């Protein structure tokens, strides 16, 4: 038996939870997803309104939760809110294993993974640019990389469902935020990303 | 036919950049009206270029990216004698850096609250590190020359393309744009560790004060006289040929814009104070100090100490282990640098005015 991963497939996080990235899954990839990944959630970042019929039936038969976050490019209006939606989904450990995919797994998923690397894992910008370039083939990287570096957010997340790979960075962010304000609720973590002056 | 050098570009007004120069580019370089050429990375100009520089009164500086001992360098050519001068500076600078490091270690020991988290936070970049692709001594000499308007027009020959990236860091560019520009000029030679170096390095700037200009001018003349007597004679002759017309003498003296802006600020604040007094409502400052008002009263004057002393938030960098570079005083900085600095200060740093009392017995 041979399994065929989707286009531009790669694990993003594989320590305590599993987060994968890829292009759009085709029917020849369904057996790989079924037997190898054991997904609980699929997040589609793209511009197709409705999934393919066979994809829809595959999701229903495997009982995989499907979320569609519309994104045409990183210059869309309302892109901030949609990235926050993705972060909320990724920061809930009950949703794992997760596959985040776009149509080709290049630019839109690259932006989402770049934001995850920056905010939740504390990667350097050079490392984020290098990883983005690996999947995009070095094309069309200027606007997306500027969007990743300029992205800021302020989310409140329940503390008990944060996955392990993100706890360290969130803890450090909380330390920095606590220096400014003394009021701190015990049940929630504040994810704050500010640009250094 | 004019052939630009490889990876030629204009970094800022007065600063040209390229990765290397060849004899083919000589006629193109004549059109740039160069005054200074900086060679970084140990590549030295060839004989044709040395003759061209000497003939055109162009000062050239060869900077290596790593330290070397003066004893091993034979005293033969002029570029090596330049290196000897810089090697002497190396020894004094290294001693100063060792003192700074010892004090920094002392401060680190006192400030460490959570040692594990503090150590994990940031990667400390020092001169002994392999990731420090351009050492701090080379950066100090480069930017002291690069940000002095007396040296313009400057041609920067840098195969690594990193010096302009660090200049963009000083100019507070976004890191994605810095890496993007680095990739434009490095082409297929781009290096992941160079991009990481551009991201990690922090530059702290220390500006000289106006009192030292006379001493600096005297210090600058000495090495020139030692190295190039012919070029100095040429400059002396050209210096004497200043044309002064009667119309120039009859004009009114020009007031610097800096003084005009200061006067306007003071006038606006005085008007605001008058409006408050006329309406019968005292300002907060006056209310606080009402108990100090005596028979003769007190007046207050605005003090602009920070900017006149060269104390700008633009010059400071976050984090530890910053590379400190010294730049010339305000009059010798290029216009584009002052404009960007003042614009950044206006947007990011709140204005602070220090009031002090002035006793007037009238």
Other beta carbons within 10 angstroms of residue A80's beta carbon come to: 11
Tell me the domains of chain B and their CATH numbers: 1-70+122-205+296-334+347-361 (3.90.190.10)
For the stretch B149-172, pLDDT in tens is: 888 888 999 878 889 999 998 988
Q: Which residues of A touch B312 (CB under 8 A)?
A: none
The arithmetic mean of pLDDT across residues B212-237, rounded, is 41
Q: Which residue has the higher pLDDT, B292 or A167?
A: A167
pLDDT at res. B286: 47
CB pair distance less than 8 Å for A141 and B180:
yes
For the stretch B137-152, pLDDT in tens is: 888 878 988 888 888 8
For the stretch B25-69, pLDDT in tens is: 888 988 888 888 999 877 778 877 888 888 788 888 888 676 433
Is the pLDDT at A20 greater than 90, yes or no?
yes
With beta carbons less than 8 A apart as the criterion, state whether B144 and B328 touch. Answer: yes
pLDDT at res. B310: 76
- What distance in Å separates the CA atoms of residue B63 and residue B217, rounded to the nearest whole number? 22
> Which candidate from A124, A142, A148 shows the least CB-CB separation from B199?
A124
Is the pLDDT at A182 greater than 80, yes or no?
no
Q: How far is CA B53 from the centre of its chain?
A: 25
DSSP-based three-state secondary structure for B119: helix
Chain B residue with the nearest C-alpha to that of A127: B196
DSSP assignment of B171-211, as one string? TT--HHHHHHHHHHHHGGG--HHHHHHHHH--EEEEEPPGG
- Sequence-distant (6+) residues with CB within 8 A of A43 are A67, A69, A86, A89, A98, A99, A100, A101
Q: Mean pLDDT in chain A?
A: 83
The CATH architecture one would assign to domain A10-152 is: Alpha-Beta Complex (3.90)
What would the two tokens of residue B223 be? Answer: 């090495």
Chain B residue with the nearest C-alpha to that of A148: B176
Residues on B contacting A at a C-beta cutoff of 8 Å: 117, 121, 174-177, 179-180, 192, 195-196, 198-200, 313, 318, 348
Check CB contact of A126 with chain B, cutoff 8 Å. yes
- Number of Cβ pairs < 8 A linking chain A and chain B: 41
- Give residue A106's pLDDT band: very low, low, confident or very high (50, 70, 90): confident
In chain A, domain spans: 10-152
Judged by average pLDDT, the poorest of A54-58, B107-111, B249-253 is: B107-111
Is the pLDDT at A181 greater than 80, yes or no?
no
Instruction: Measure B203 CA to nearest chain A CA, in Å.
Output: 13
For the stretch B185-213, pLDDT in tens is: 888 777 888 988 888 888 888 787 665 44
Chain B residue with the nearest C-alpha to that of A128: B176
Between positions 138 and 197 of A, the ones with CB within 8 A of B are 141-142, 145-146, 148-150, 172, 175, 196-197
Is the pLDDT at B357 greater than 80, yes or no?
no
The strands making up A10-13's β-sheet, listed across from edge to edge, are A10-13, A19-22, A98-101, A41-46, A65-70
| CA distances, B188 to each of A90, B160, B163, B208, B357 (Å) | 36, 12, 18, 39, 63
Q: Mean pLDDT in chain B?
A: 68
Q: Which residues of B touch A175 (CB under 8 A)?
A: 117
Instruction: Measure B342 CA to nearest chain A CA, in Å.
Output: 15
- What distance in Å separates the CA atoms of residue B278 and residue B284, rounded to the nearest whole number? 15
């Amino acid at each position: 038996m041979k399994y065929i991963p989707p286009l531009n497939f790669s694990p993003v996080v594989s320590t305590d939870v599993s987060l994968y990235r890829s292009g759009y899954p085709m029917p020849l990839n369904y057996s790989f997803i079924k037997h190898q990944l054991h997904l609980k959630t699929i997040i589609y970042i793209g511009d197709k309104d409705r999934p393919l019929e066979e994809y829809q039936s595959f999701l229903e038969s495997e009982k995989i939760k499907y979320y569609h976050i519309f994104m045409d490019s990183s210059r869309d209006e309302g892109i901030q809110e949609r990235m926050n939606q993705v972060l909320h989904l990724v920061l809930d450990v009950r949703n794992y294993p997760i596959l985040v995919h776009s149509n080709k797994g290049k630019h839109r998923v690259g932006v989402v993974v770049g934001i995850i690397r920056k905010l939740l894992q504390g990667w350097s910008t050079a490392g984020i640019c290098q990883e983005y370039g690996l999947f995009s083939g070095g094309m069309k990287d200027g606007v997306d990389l500027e969007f990743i570096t300029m992205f800021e957010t302020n989310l409140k997340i329940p503390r008990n469902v944060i996955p392990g790979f993100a706890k360290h960075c969130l803890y450090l962010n909380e330390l920095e935020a606590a220096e400014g304000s003394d009021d701190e609720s015990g049940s929630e973590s504040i994810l704050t990303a500010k640009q250094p002056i | 036919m004019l052939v630009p050098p490889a990876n030629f570009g204009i970094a800022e007004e007065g600063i040209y950049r390229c990765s290397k120069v060849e004899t083919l580019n000589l006629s193109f370089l004549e059109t740039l009206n160069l005054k200074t050429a900086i060679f970084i990375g140990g590549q030295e100009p060839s004989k044709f270029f040395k003759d061209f520089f000497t003939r055109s009164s162009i000062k050239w500086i060869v900077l290596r990216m790593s330290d070397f001992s003066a004893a091993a360098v034979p005293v033969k050519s002029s570029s090596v004698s330049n290196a000897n001068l810089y090697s002497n500076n190396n020894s004094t600078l290294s001693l100063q850096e060792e003192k700074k490091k010892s004090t920094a270690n002392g401060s680190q020991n006192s400030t460490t609250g959570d040692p594990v988290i503090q150590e994990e936070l940031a990667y400390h970049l020092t001169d002994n590190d392999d990731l420090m692709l351009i050492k701090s001594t080379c950066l100090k000499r480069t930017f002291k020359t690069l940000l002095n308007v007396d040296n313009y027009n400057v041609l920067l020959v840098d195969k690594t393309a990193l010096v302009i990236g660090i200049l963009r860091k000083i100019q507070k560019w976004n890191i994605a744009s810095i890496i993007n520009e680095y990739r434009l000029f490095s082409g297929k030679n781009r290096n992941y560790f160079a991009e990481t170096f551009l991201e990690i390095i922090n530059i702290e700037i220390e500006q000289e004060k106006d009192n030292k200009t006379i001493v600096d001018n005297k210090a600058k003349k000495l090495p020139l006289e030692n190295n190039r007597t012919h070029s100095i004679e040429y400059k002396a002759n050209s210096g004497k040929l200043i044309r002064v017309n009667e119309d120039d003498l009859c004009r009114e003296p020009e007031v610097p814009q800096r003084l005009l802006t200061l006067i306007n600020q003071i006038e606006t604040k005085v008007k605001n104070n008058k409006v408050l007094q006329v309406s019968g409502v005292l300002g907060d400052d006056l209310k606080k100090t009402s108990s100090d008002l005596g028979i003769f009263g007190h007046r207050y004057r605005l003090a602009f100490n920070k900017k006149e002393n060269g104390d700008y938030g633009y010059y400071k960098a976050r984090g530890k282990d910053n590379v400190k570079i010294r730049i010339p005083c305000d009059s010798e900085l290029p216009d584009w640098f002052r404009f960007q600095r003042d614009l950044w200060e206006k947007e990011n740093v709140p204005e602070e005015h220090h009031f002090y009392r002035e006793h007037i017995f009238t």
